[in-house]
Structure 1
Amino acid sequence: MKKKLLVTLLAASFAFTMLAGCGKSESAEGQARGETGSAAQDKTEEADRSENGSTQSGAEDGAGSSQADGSEGGEGSGENGSESDADEKTSGGQDKDADQDSAAEGEAGYVIPEVVMPSLEIPDSEAFAFVHDMKIGWNLGNTFDAYSDRTFADELEAEAQWVGVATTREMIDDIREAGFHSIRIPVSWHDHVDENYQISDVWLNRVQEVVDYAYDSGMYVILNIHHDNSEQFMYPSTEYLEQSVSYVTAIWQQLAERFADYDQRMIFEGMNEPRQVGTAWEWWIDPASEDCKDAIACINTINQAFVDTVRATGGNNKNRYLMVPGYDASPDGVLNEGFVFPTDAEGVTDKLILSVHAYTPYKFALQGPGESGSTAEFKASALGSTRDVTYFMDRLYNTFIQNGIPIVIDEFGARDKGQNTQARVDYATYYIAAARARGMTCFWWDNNVFEGDGEIFGIYHRQDRSFPYPEIVEGLMKYAE
């Protein structure tokens, strides 16, 4: 049964000093989404993203599974309708509100909405308590996940090729002091392994150094395999299944051994958005398609191999929290009959977490501002804005949370579409309130991009260590406890 939530918004005005964003001056033009707005054409292949060096502006994997999320709306939440029209029907005065938003931006005054939302029943278990204690997370995006066909004189130059700056302890301290309790460190390993999938010591040592910045500060840390989706390494199809299992288990064998002595705040995420790259269903699934069924079955196998490999290394890894995704890491990727949640080792309970990515509603959160149907408006008081968020979260709650499986949404966000900071504040506040009411913890995708025509998700400027949108951070924190 879908639960209907009552949302009441009370105006609470907070004034903020506006900090000028000074991110990369250009975005990667090649990252522009398809002109047709279809699920397949709105996505570009990951290989295209790597050619722009430090001016890379794609949200990278963050650009990913939301397209599948957008398809959810077609199942009953009204995603395919005009969201701005829906907002007008729900709350009225859209043009006036837009004018007020622009004025607020100029005056650097924003309203952080008060969201009154009943909490749903959450299972009483160690796993749900653990996820709750993670509170709110941030992604170190476009950093160790960067990849390229180029050869660097110094392997460590790869870390800064998309963002233009290497990570420092001071940066991570800034994130912690801003109120983020957790950090996700996406890593692409395939440019740093030999023919036997042995990871370069130089690369692994540097990853561990940055992990330690966060871990030593008391943060929860998620480490993963990120942009390794290719037929050469990990590709969910029967044809490449044996190779995929070999690659994933080889990487996790090494990572599990390297981080074996870290406590439970060190979390392993097996894969990021596993999918059949380059196909018509790269960013959405058709449950009736035999290829999609095959991909889902292969992901089940790889997830289980990941769990078994980590557990077999013993020590703290026997009881470490592990995260697993479905196809694309999208809600639709796990809300289908083919997805099977892995089983844990004998004697181990409540240590597996479902990983989900949801840039929902797609037309607001991710779709390019020049594309048909795109909207820059989101009102926390308008059903036309919020219904897709509550819809997909209710589906996850009913299917997994109620059955004892915890969820972390470790990628979400809303791109800057120009003069829509108030809408993004409303979105951040409402999204976190809705997720926490259902027992989920969320991580904002930050690609350190602040200007240009690409996917602008930055909220922490790494070059000058500033928060250009403190009001968005405030919105994220408001209901994270």
Structure 2
Amino acid sequence: MHKQIISTALSVVISASFLGSFPRTDSRSAAADTAMREITTMELVKDMGIGINLGNTLEACGDWIADVDRQWGDGVLSPQDYETAWGSPVITQQMIQGMADEGFGVVRVPVAWSNLIGEGYKISPEYDARVHEIVDWIICAKMYCIINIHWDGGWVNSFPDNKDECMRRYETMWTQIADSFKDYSDYLMFESQNEELGWEKVWNPWGGTEGKAESYALVNEINQKFVDVVRSSGGNNPKRHLLISGYNTGFDRTCDPLFKMPDDPAGRMAVSVHYYSPPGFAILEDEDAEWAKTRSTWGTDEDFRELNSNMDMMKNGYIDKGIPVIIGEYGCPTKGKEPDSVRLFLTSVCRAAYERQLCPVLWSTPGGHYDRDNCRMADQELKKNLNEISGFKPQQPTEPTTVTEPEPQVLSGDVNNDGSVNVADLVALQQFLLGAGIIEKTEAADLCEDRIIDIYDLILLRRLLIKA
């Protein structure tokens, strides 16, 4: 077996503290560093390409999880107990890398921060650390990452009834999240909420206009609070690109004049909407509901007219006014659906969005469109279609220098091979990247485990030493 090594000469003076930023060779070459580029949010969203959700994973929640663990587990809840509760395997770096290899440029990570939460809405350090780990893997794979407060047990639904307490909880949680991730680069985006901002108990969209202004005003107030908290949290957050949840993330409701984007001194915001239309195909599986009849096929002329009309609505209402749009979720089930229609629907939604400069992010859950066990798209024809839309082409392997991989077990991070991991290893790795040194145990320096030694390994080693 041989080990691939790429040694890149970095024409930059790196401070002794190793806290400075590093030079870029392309738009994604320093994804894991702490720099904020002077680019607009529109440019950043365009650079994302197309994306995928890590759905039904870190946002999995429910009191029953603790009950099951008490009865069948060890009685001590861990982040992995929640992570796997809705059917996901424990996420690995290989699963995340597979998303990048399949052509995705951004991963949206829904999070239920209330899992393991402490008194005073103190977010669990263990849960926060697990989110950090997955975010790091995403950015190390040269993809953008979006994190949010997702459904999170549904407490957001209580805003109209208990506004002060819910706002306190919202502000307290975002204060902690923003502080925890404040030093991340602009490859990390914060999203204000999922799709719960908008309450039928206040305004019934199918029953007139009573309460409509009040419901919209509360949505706008929550989104403004989000921006204010993040902008005042220090680090890179005053310039971080933010994603603002539309009214129930619906196309038509977010385009309503009553919905307002927050005031933002940085002017770095995009709006988030979701696309599940027609619901009989995109939401229901094989059983009817009171509000829709299930459909197994999609692709009529009327279906395409509806799709294009909706996408034009967002383009005219936001893109043409200089406000970027991320479709944070779009998708459909596979149960009860004709496979060709599933492929046609997902391809058509992605194309219609992408051609109008909207960033489409596929909703994918365990057993869904992305096969987490094999780290590849379940439907390779769909993958081909999506790659054609985004223009993604798999990178060809470079011609590297090769050395024989050593046989003994290697301590990750022990670059100088002295049996311990400390600042001397950081210096050795820096010298190697500057072309002024050699590494005997190459596997010890490959902290990203991507068979390439580069700037990302230096960044992860620095973080490892800081945490230690």
Fold agreement, TM-score > 0.5: yes
CA distance in structure 1 between the aligned counterparts of 2:210 and 2:303, rounded to whole angstroms: 35
Give 1:381-460 correspondences, 5 Å limit: 382-418=300-336, 420-449=338-367, 458-460=368-370
Counterpart of 2:186?
Answer: 264
Q: Does the 8 Å contact 1:428/1:475 carry over to 2?
A: no
Pick closer, same or farther for the CA change 1:465–1:238 going to 2, 3 Å: closer
Give 1:327-346 correspondences, 5 Å limit: 327-345=247-265
- The one-letter code of the counterpart of 2:119 is E
Counterpart of 2:372?
Answer: 462
Counterpart of 1:362?
Answer: 279
| 1:155 maps to which of 62, 74, 78 | 78
- The one-letter code of the counterpart of 2:383 is V
Counterpart of 1:202?
Answer: 126
CA distance in structure 2 between the aligned counterparts of 1:222 and 1:384, rounded to whole angstroms: 33
Q: CA offsets per residue over residues 215-274 of structure 1, 9 Å max, x none? A: 1111100000001364xx433644322222211221111111111111111000010112
Pick closer, same or farther for the CA change 1:427–1:261 going to 2, 3 Å: same
Alignment of 1:190 with 2:107, yes or no, is no
Q: Does the 8 Å contact 1:183/1:219 carry over to 2?
A: yes
Pick closer, same or farther for the CA change 1:461–1:289 going to 2, 3 Å: same
Counterpart of 2:462?
Answer: none
CA distance in structure 2 between the aligned counterparts of 1:142 and 1:186, rounded to whole angstroms: 8
Give 1:54-133 correspondences, 5 Å limit: 126-133=40-47
Counterpart of 2:146?
Answer: 222
Counterpart of 1:300?
Answer: 220
Counterpart of 1:273?
Answer: 195
SS at match of 2:383: helix
SS at match of 2:329: strand
The alignment's C-alpha RMSD in Å is: 2.2
Question: CA shift at 1:286, angstroms?
Answer: 4.5
SS at match of 2:361: strand
TM-score by length of 2: 0.68
Pick closer, same or farther for the CA change 1:442–1:250 going to 2, 3 Å: same
CA distance in structure 1 between the aligned counterparts of 2:337 and 2:210, rounded to whole angstroms: 44
Q: CA offsets per residue over residues 156-213 of structure 1, 9 Å max, x none? A: 2111111241100010011110111110000011233223111010111111111111
Question: CA shift at 1:369, angstroms?
Answer: 2.6
Report % sequence identity.
Answer: 30
Q: Does the 8 Å contact 2:57/2:88 carry over to 1?
A: no
Pick closer, same or farther for the CA change 1:428–1:164 going to 2, 3 Å: closer
- The one-letter code of the counterpart of 1:338 is L
Q: Does the 8 Å contact 2:245/2:271 carry over to 1?
A: yes
CA distance in structure 1 between the aligned counterparts of 2:226 and 2:220, rounded to whole angstroms: 10
Counterpart of 1:6?
Answer: none
Counterpart of 2:100?
Answer: 176
CA distance in structure 1 between the aligned counterparts of 2:132 and 2:106, rounded to whole angstroms: 16
Alignment of 1:318 with 2:242, yes or no, is no
Q: Does the 8 Å contact 1:286/1:292 carry over to 2?
A: no
CA distance in structure 2 between the aligned counterparts of 1:267 and 1:427, rounded to whole angstroms: 28
Pick closer, same or farther for the CA change 1:342–1:275 going to 2, 3 Å: closer
- The one-letter code of the counterpart of 2:257 is E
- The one-letter code of the counterpart of 1:359 is Y
CA distance in structure 1 between the aligned counterparts of 2:334 and 2:40, rounded to whole angstroms: 37
Alignment of 1:476 with 2:386, yes or no, is yes
Question: CA shift at 1:146, angstroms?
Answer: 0.4
Counterpart of 2:429?
Answer: none
Q: CA offsets per residue over residues 4-34 of structure 1, 9 Å max, x none? A: xxxxxxxxxxxxxxxxxxxxxxxxxxxxxxx
Q: CA offsets per residue over residues 29-49 of structure 1, 9 Å max, x none? A: xxxxxxxxxxxxxxxxxxxxx
Counterpart of 2:270?
Answer: 353
Q: Does the 8 Å contact 2:88/2:366 carry over to 1?
A: no
Q: Does the 8 Å contact 2:276/2:330 carry over to 1?
A: yes
CA distance in structure 1 between the aligned counterparts of 2:207 and 2:225, rounded to whole angstroms: 23
CA distance in structure 2 between the aligned counterparts of 1:338 and 1:419, rounded to whole angstroms: 37
Counterpart of 1:234?
Answer: 156
Q: CA offsets per residue over residues 77-119 of structure 1, 9 Å max, x none? A: xxxxxxxxxxxxxxxxxxxxxxxxxxxxxxxxxxxxxxxxxxx
Question: CA shift at 1:430, angstroms?
Answer: 1.6
Q: CA offsets per residue over residues 438-466 of structure 1, 9 Å max, x none? A: 110011101113xxxxxxxx112223434
Q: Which runs of 5+ in 2 are unaligned?
A: 1-38, 70-75, 392-468
CA distance in structure 2 between the aligned counterparts of 1:176 and 1:417, rounded to whole angstroms: 26
Counterpart of 1:251?
Answer: 173
Counterpart of 1:105?
Answer: none
Pick closer, same or farther for the CA change 1:274–1:376 going to 2, 3 Å: same
The number of residues matched between the two structures is 340
SS at match of 2:257: coil
SS at match of 1:471: helix
- The one-letter code of the counterpart of 2:271 is L
- The one-letter code of the counterpart of 1:401 is I
Counterpart of 1:55?
Answer: none
SS at match of 1:196: helix
CA distance in structure 2 between the aligned counterparts of 1:472 and 1:281, rounded to whole angstroms: 41
| 2:54 maps to which of 120, 137, 140 | 140
User: Rg bigger for which structure?
Assistant: 2
Q: Does the 8 Å contact 1:146/1:158 carry over to 2?
A: yes
CA distance in structure 2 between the aligned counterparts of 1:276 and 1:195, rounded to whole angstroms: 27
